[in-house]
Amino acid sequence: MAEFSIHKTHLPFQHWLSGLLLTASIGAAAAWLAQQPWLSGLGLGALTLAIMLGIVVGNSVYSPLASRCDAGVVLAKQKLLRLGIILFGFRITLQQIMDIGVSGIVIDTLTLSSTFLMTCLIGRRLLKLDRETVWLIGAGSSICGAAAVLATEPVVKAAPSKVAVAVATVVLFGTLAIFVYPLLWPLVQSLYPALSLTQFGIFTGSTVHEVAQVVAAGHAMGADAENSAVITKMLRVMMLAPFLLCLGGVLRRHQRGTQSRGPVTFPWFALLFVLAAMFNSLHILPVSAVAMLNQLANLLLAMAMAALGLTTRFSALRDAGIKPLLLGAIIFVWLIVGGGSINLLVQHFMD
């Protein structure tokens, strides 16, 4: 068993190559489609199209390729996404982070806590779902999607089937947000003319589930929305560690005499994103080097979006049943309405 684990830990590059080539091909196709006049008018950016193409491929012709491509696809979805987000910091300045700073932290804190509590209340009392499934969906909806679900699993010791249900639920509604939020912007702008695209980006970053989905939704609306959305999302992601510590403390109080139920991990890529932005603010690198880093970030993010689409299975959503999906739908509406209200109130009193 030990030899098998060591072998799996040191995989040759060829093991990932097929999956990486597939995600790169889908990302390139999405970039080409985004430049076509008949599609550009719909406001669908390259990252959104990469997810859409990935979903189509993943639910049609991908099954025969899965054994060869899964390793590279998972690498793109996890590692390349984080690297792309870190490199995204090179188009952000420290001033932009400071502009969002305090109000962004307040918005993220209020949105996270209210969303998790709302999920627990509705999931447990109204829908009568089990505690672990509710907590996993609550963590994924309030912090950072599937990554938060997987980080919460060792703390609550949930069964793999419950983890799969929670991941499927948050991926579904987070992906839906990619299309809904760009459509919401003109409506919100008509109701609140003083609201800027940067402020709507803060709303996006504080309420959309996954990091990848935040990038795609912000990208579809423009650079100002994308930048503020990503900054806000990174502040939210960094709240994962204190959230897990609090959740672990609650569990220990209910189970006195037991030891910690699992490790608490810190999302280091979010901190590295901030450090990249700080370095970029010093203007040490030449403009051409920064442009190359931005192009590399775009490529990595497009590959990550394609991988996210490839791993989104309609069958998993069907197997989840109606109650988890209903909970996810209710929380999705809450994130838009309740999260939007929190954004408006905080920005009104703090700006």
In a domain, 169, yes or no: yes
Look at 85 and 90; give whichever has higher pLDDT.
Answer: 90
In a domain, 296, yes or no: yes
Q: What is the pLDDT of residues 181-209, one digit of tens each?
A: 999 999 999 999 989 999 999 999 999 99
Instruction: Calculate mean pLDDT across residues 34-41.
Output: 75
In a domain, 4, yes or no: no
In a domain, 310, yes or no: yes
- Reported as a pLDDT band with limits 50, 70 and 90, residue 260 is very low
Decide if pLDDT at 41 tops 70: no
Instruction: Calculate mean pLDDT across residues 212-241.
Output: 88
Least confident of 72-81, 97-106, 336-345: 97-106
In a domain, 329, yes or no: yes
- Reported as a pLDDT band with limits 50, 70 and 90, residue 162 is confident
Instruction: Calculate mean pLDDT across residues 256-262.
Output: 51
In a domain, 2, yes or no: no
Look at 268 and 129; give whichever has higher pLDDT.
Answer: 129
Residue 182, CA distances (Å) to 29, 217, 290 in order: 22, 7, 28
Can you give the residue range of the structural domain that contains 171?
17-350
Note the pLDDT of residue 81. 83
Look at 41 and 107; give whichever has higher pLDDT.
Answer: 107
Q: How many residues does the chain have?
A: 351
Note the pLDDT of residue 262. 54
Note the pLDDT of residue 269. 78
Instruction: Calculate mean pLDDT across residues 237-259.
Output: 75
> What are the b/e assignments for 212-245, b being 16+ CB within 10 Å?
bbbbbbbbbbbebbbbbbbbbbbbbbbbbeebbe
Find where tokens 């930048």 sit.
227
- Reported as a pLDDT band with limits 50, 70 and 90, residue 337 is very high
Q: What is the pLDDT of residues 94-126, one digit of tens each?
A: 887 887 878 888 999 999 999 999 999 999 999
Decide if pLDDT at 9 tops 50: no
Decide if pLDDT at 338 tops 50: yes
Q: What is the pLDDT of residues 283-293, one digit of tens each?
A: 899 999 999 99
Report the number of distinct structural domains present in the chain.
1
Q: What is the pLDDT of residues 308-318, one digit of tens each?
A: 889 877 777 67
Decide if pLDDT at 157 tops 60: yes
Say how many C-beta atoms besides its own lie within 10 A of residue 136's C-beta.
30
pTM, two decimal places: 0.75
Decide if pLDDT at 5 tops 50: no
Q: What percent of the chain has pLDDT over 90?
A: 42
> What are the b/e assignments for 31-55, b being 16+ CB within 10 Å?
bebbeeeeeeeeebbbbbbbbbbbb
Note the pLDDT of residue 2. 39
Decide if pLDDT at 263 tops 80: no
In a domain, 7, yes or no: no
> What are the b/e assignments for 273-290, b being 16+ CB within 10 Å?
bbebbeebbeeeeeeeee
Indicate the average pLDDT of the chain. Answer: 85
In a domain, 153, yes or no: yes
